[in-house]
Amino acid sequence: MAIPINDESIHILIIDDEPLNILALCAVLKSRGYTPLTAGSATEGLAMLDQSNTIKLVLMDMMMPDIDGYEATTRIKKSKHCGHIPVIAVTAQAMADDREKCLAAGVDDYVSKPIDIDVLSLVIKKHIK
């Protein structure tokens, strides 16, 4: 997806390898007035972040085949260009220590699947200034 340059809307990058998850998250974000951008892999998402100055937040799936969300988040947070961008873990993992593992990787917040839309909206608003 092309990255708009002179757009006033809030761009949120969804990094997820599941097309249905991307479709659902796009619908939710659009209904809340955000502009979703999508990447089907961490590699693609990292490239988009490096090329953009408009992305305000990342919704990161933690379980992906190429580079998992833990490694991708670590790379984002170490980047001089995009290290300031909040990363929200969006994961189906439900083990007790998964939240701590996500936070240790550098995510700014955590939302578990199935996603409660109201919770997701509150988390996004908390991190977008």
CATH match of 11-127 with 3.40.50.2000: no
**Domain extent listing, the chain:** 11-127
pLDDT at 5: 43
| pLDDT mean across residues, the chain | 90
Q: Is residue 13 very low, low, confident or very high in pLDDT (cuts 50, 70, 90)?
A: very high
pLDDT at 2: 46
Q: Regarding predicted confidence, which is higher, 66 or 93?
A: 66
pLDDT at 93: 64
**Residue 79 CA from chain centroid, whole number:** 16
pTM: 0.90
pLDDT at 23: 96
The Cα-based distances of 8 to 42, 84, 101 in angstroms read 26, 19, 34
Q: How far apart are CA 24 and CA 47, in angstroms?
A: 23
Characterize 54-87 residue by residue with b for buried, 16 or more Cβ atoms within 10 angstroms of its Cβ, and e for exposed.
bbbbbbbbbebeebebbebbbbbbeeeebeebbb
Mean pLDDT, residues 69-91 taken together = 95
